[in-house]
Structures are given as C-alpha cells and as structure tokens.
A and B are shown apart, each in its own frame.
Chain A
Amino acid sequence: MKLMVVDDSMVIREKIALILEHEEFEIVGSAQNGIEAVEQYKEFKPDVMTLDITMPLMDGLETIEAIMDIDDSVRILVISALSDKGTLIQAMKLGAHGFLCKPFNDADLGEALEELVEDLH
C-alpha cells in the first residue's frame, strides 16, 4: 500500500518512516507543506496519506480540500497537535478519515493506520 507523509517537521517525517519501516506501507512521498503534498500526490497517487495541520504555505485543512478536488479515494490520517474537537470535525468534514493527536508513539500510529485501511484489505 502506497503512503505519503506530510509534515513540516523532519523529525516527525523520519519518525513515521521509521515506525512503518517493516509494515505493509511503502512510503512513496514525503512533503513538508501542502503545496509540496499536492504536487507529490499527483505524481505518486498514494493510497494513504498522513497529514499535519499546522504547516507553512498551505496548511493541512487547505491540503485536504485540494487533494479531494483531485481524488477523493485517498485515505487521510490527520496527525496534529491541535487537540480541539472543532479542528477534528472540520478535518473529517473536508474528507479526512482519521485523526491522531500528537504526541504519539509507535503503537498509536500503527493502530490508527490499521483502523484507517481495515476495509481496504
């Protein structure tokens, strides 16, 4: 399953890649803002995307809208420190499928992704 990681923090991008190293996901793209994410989405067509909200140039909510305009079949897991219900609801309404609050550990990410793709198997 092809996965793309979108986060302005290189530490988070590396951490997600490390956690998923031996999982079923192949990381095909890694972007540090929404603009890069949209460009890479068109090129790599991932099945799953992890997406931060607070990013420069284009934030995560704007990115969901832009990606949904291209293809609404991608599964998006929002991974954000913004822990209020309003942001969660807004992200889900725009097209996200799951929400994982930072900080997270290996098990948290594994469970969230498993839930995200369980009906794709």
Chain B
Amino acid sequence: MQADDLAVFVDGISNYFSSTTGIDATVGTPFLSKEVNSYISDFTGVIGISGNRKGSIFFSAPKRMLMHVLSGMGLIATKDAKLMDLVGEISNTVSGNARAVFGQDFNISVPVTIQGKPENMQVSDVANIYVIPIEWNQQRANLIVNLLES
C-alpha cells in the first residue's frame, strides 16, 4: 500500500467525528507498526477487505469515548452491545468511504466486533500495518489499516 492511500482513511475518520457529533477529532500522523495488539482498546470493529485490495481495517476505541460519541449523537449507551455496534458502524463507514478512491472492486465485509483485548491478534501482512491515531474529546482511539494490492 502506498502512504498516499492513507489520506482517504485520515479524511474518513475525521469526517465521521465532525459529521456525527459536531466535534472535530484531531487525527495524528499515521505511522508504521510491526504489530496491532498495542493499539487495541476496549471495543474494536474489524472490516475484511477483498477485491482490488486485501487485508483488514480496524477501529478500536475506549468505552468512555464511545459513550461520549453516542451522547454526541443524541443517543444513550444502555448496554455494551450498543458500543459494539458503534465500533462496527465506524469501521464500516470509514472502509466504505474508501471506495470513493479505490473503486467498486474494493469489497468490504460486514463488521466483526470484539470487546476487550484478545491475547494475540494477527494480520495478514505485518510489513504494512499503518496506525492512525485519533484524539477526540480528550480520549484516544486508533484506526489500523493493513492492506495489500491484489
């Protein structure tokens, strides 16, 4: 994956927070990592990618941030299932928006959601793990992009 390709994800996650909550997020400079586990938080949404790219996109955030995002949308987090749903929706939205750049052959799966930190999460291409740090409302989340051109 080219570093330039990351711009669509930076823009996508930034747009998500401003559009849905009215509060801008600060999106940090993406960096390469050799593993994903250090960047996994309380709730994670994972989208599988196939077609003209292969890999996965993760959005992982702490519970407190997700509760505030829901609140910013005018909704109440009555149960953790709603926070799971929200991380899935955020990962799905950012991944789907990337089709504007990668085209219709950039196929995205329905989200898989994870609560907690699995012991050893793996990705298909360890040489290509980009972490995009996001700060919103004084809390930090990560968007992790692991894509290879098919």
Chain B residues in 8 Å Cβ range of A54: 92, 96, 108, 110
State how many angstroms separate the Cβ of A30 from the closest Cβ of chain B.
Answer: 14
A9, B88: Cβ atoms under 8 Å?
A: yes
Q: What is the bound-complex CA distance between A56 and B111, given in angstroms?
A: 10
Chain B residues with CB under 8 Å of A42's CB are: none
A37 to chain B, nearest CB (A): 15
The answer to whether A15 and B73 have CB atoms under 8 Å apart is yes
Please state if B20 and A81 are interface contacts (CB–CB under 8 Å): no
Q: Which residue of B lies closest to A104 (CB)?
A: B19
- Which of B81, B104, B110 is within 8 Å of A86, CB to CB? B104
Of B20, B85, B96, the contact of A105 (CB 8 Å cutoff): B20
Chain A residues 84 to 108 lying within 8 A of chain B, measured CB to CB, are: 84, 86-87, 101-105, 108
Q: Which residues of B contact A8 (CB under 8 A)?
A: 110
A10-51 vs B, Cβ < 8 Å mask (1 yes, 0 no): 111011001000000000000000000000000000000000
- Determine if A103 and B16 form an interchain contact, defined as CB atoms under 8 angstroms apart: yes
**What does the 1/0 interface line of B58-76 toward A look like (CB < 8 Å)?**
0000000000001001110
B140 close to chain A: CB less than 8 A: no
Question: Which residues of chain A are near B15, meaning CB under 8 Å?
Answer: 103
Question: Closest B-chain residue to A101, C-beta based?
Answer: B97
A32, chain B: closest CB distance, angstroms? 10
Which chain B residues in 93-118 approach chain A with CB under 8 Å? 93-97, 99-100, 103-104, 106, 108, 110
Count residues of chain B with CB under 8 A from any CB of chain A.
28
CA distance A12 to B70 in the complex (A): 11
Residue A63 at the B interface, CB < 8 A? Answer: no
Smallest CB–CB gap between A56 and chain B, Å? 5
- By a CB distance below 8 angstroms, the chain B residues around A83 are 96-97, 99-100
Chain B residues closer than 8 Å to A117, beta-carbon distance: none
Task: Indicate if the CB atoms of A9 and B100 lie closer than 8 Å.
Answer: no
Known A15-B73, A103-B16; contact A86-B96, beta-carbon cutoff 8 A = no
The answer on a CB contact under 8 Å between B73 and A11 is yes
Give the docked Cα–Cα distance between A18 and B103 (Å).
32
Instruction: Offer 5 A-B interface pairs, CB within 8 angstroms, sorted by A.
Output: A9-B86, A54-B110, A81-B92, A84-B106, A103-B19
